[in-house]
Amino acid sequence: MLRRVSIVAVLLVALTCLGSVASADPQSIPNGPWIQPEQEVRKDALTSNEELGKKLRQIEARSKGRLTVEVVGQSATGWPIYLAKFGKPAPGKLGVLIQTQIHGGEPLGTEAALQLIKELAQSGHPQVKEILDRLTIWIIPRLNMDGAAFERDGKLVQRRWNTQRWNPSEWGLPADTPAPWYYRADQDPPGFDINRDFHPDLNFRLSPQSAHLLPGTSTTPGFFVTPEARTSAAVFQRLRPDVFIDLHHRGTNTQSAEDNQMTTLQVVGEVTKGLPEYPLDPEVHKRSLQLNAYVYEVLTKRGQSPFTGITRYPDVELPGTALGSYALNGAAIMLYEVRSAGQKSMGMLIEQMLVGLRATLLGLANGEVFATDPALYYQIPPAGPRIDNPRS
């Protein structure tokens, strides 16, 4: 069953997932992605939190034992957080952790993940068998349940942050202790950007001994104050994955100042250079470059839109992101970030995610990913100028 909720054009949020990018003169593309002001985007096809659990249980029941679904944690407001498991950690098998919607307003990764879970659970295709034979794949479909279900005036609007007040007493700290820098007290209700709340020490907990680190900055680790980030880290520690893939949306960019084609996908394999206490393993770094380069190569070889509009995310230093902290814990990482878009592009963007994920899993299973030249990563074109909505 699909949820019948209509909302205003929230998918046009001009938020970037990891950091700011240079802005340029606004451009206007006739018949571009822009939603008319009077046009309402319907989220009919999106899965609600209630439906997410039901769909996962249905797929599990029909999977003949391939898929196990677990509730691994709860959001700040009490929504269950799900984990879809294909296999157990085992010697000789590559561990792959895929996570979606850490930013609640970026829903399409969850939709793609649901389709992927269904395929892995039910398909008889030999490539699916090959993938499941070689990989242990765990998927957290929708980490930020609060942001995904966020409503205003009875309408589903979704938002980037979770729904959680800064509560210093939870950590044995005085009431006037400053909140982590990624707390948004100006939101109603306030919340945290979960994707800044990670720490390379996956067991880090805020305490009077570590409170002097507050509020921190974007280039220092987070504090694991959100139950969502702690849930993700606990899953990571169980699987100890070789590969971590994080699915996001971003604003719209063009390919370059000369090429007005829209960037449909950005990838990144470098999110932190490492910290003195938590260095980045050069081998892990190399594998991150190979992973992203492989996907770039595979998708661009398809040669037709939308798979040619791929660029590299701008350089960032964000050890407090899931990607950053997990890279410092031995996982090759890939940010997979599709363009935010109106209704008419949603199906295309979900399909693009699916094509990329299928190719990635197959390339990991057959060894092609880690046979890729890592230098190819730097041939992925950097992001071009950002497009602003000419109608806003």
User: Are the C-beta atoms of residues 105 and 152 closer than 8 Å to each other?
Assistant: no
Min dist. Cβ of residue 9 to Zn ion (A):
18
Minimum CB–partner distance for residue 22 and Zn ion (Å) = 19
Dihedral, CA of residue 309, residue 312, residue 316 and residue 320, to nearest 10? 80
Site pattern 3..32 for Zn ion (x: CB under 5 A): --------------x---------------
Closer of 248 and 339 to Zn ion (Cβ): 248
Nearer to Zn ion, 43 or 248 (CB): 248
- Whole-number minimum distance, CB 318 to Zn ion, in Å? 12
Cβ proximity to Zn ion, 311 vs 372, nearer residue: 311
Q: Which is nearer to Zn ion, 66 or 103 (CB)?
A: 103
Binding footprint of Zn ion, residue count (CB under 5 A): 4
Q: How far is the CB of 158 from Zn ion (least distance, A)?
A: 12
* Choices 210-218, 245-253, 254-262, 310-318; region in contact with Zn ion by CB under 5 A: 245-253
CA dist 115 and 69 (Å) reads 15
Q: Which is nearer to Zn ion, 106 or 270 (CB)?
A: 106
d(CA 348, CA 1): 21
Q: Select the residue interacting with Zn ion from 248, 285, 358, 386 (CB under 5 A).
A: 248
Contacts of 239 (CB under 8 A, 6+ apart): 89, 95, 97, 136, 138
**Which CB, 17 or 332, lies closer to Zn ion?**
17
**Nearer residue to Zn ion within complex by CB, 17 or 298:** 17
Q: How far apart are CA 197 and CA 164, in angstroms?
A: 13
Q: Closest distance between Zn ion and the C-beta of residue 228, in Å?
A: 13
Under 8 Å between Cβ of 217 and 304:
no
CB nearer to Zn ion: pick between 86 and 150: 150
Contact flag: residue 312 with Zn ion (CB under 5 A): no
Strands (E), 168-326: 183-184, 191-192, 243-250, 265-268, 310-312
Closest approach, Cβ 106 to Zn ion, in A, equals 5
How near is the Cβ of 203 to Zn ion at its closest, in Å?
Answer: 25
Query: Which of the 8 DSSP states describes residue 62?
Result: T
Nearer of residues 134 and 248 to Zn ion, judged by Cβ: 248
Residues in contact with Zn ion, shown as a per-residue x/- string from 105 to 134 under the rule CB under 5 A: -x----------------------------
Strands of 265-268's sheet in order across = 67-74, 80-86, 135-140, 94-100, 243-250, 332-339, 265-268, 310-312
Q: How many residues does the chain have?
A: 392
**Shortest gap between Cβ of 386 and Zn ion (angstroms)?**
15
Q: What part of residues 89-108 is at the interface with Zn ion (CB under 5 A)?
A: 103, 106
Give the whole-angstrom CA distance, residue 86 versus residue 139: 8
Q: How far apart are CA 310 and CA 254, in angstroms?
A: 10
H-type alpha helices, the chain: 49-61, 108-122, 126-134, 145-148, 227-239, 282-301, 322-327, 343-366
- Please state the closest distance from residue 341 (CB atom) to Zn ion, in A: 14
DSSP bridge partners of 140: 99
Q: In the complex, which residue's CB is closest to Zn ion?
A: 17
Q: In the complex, which residues of this chain contact Zn ion (CB under 5 A)?
A: 17, 103, 106, 248
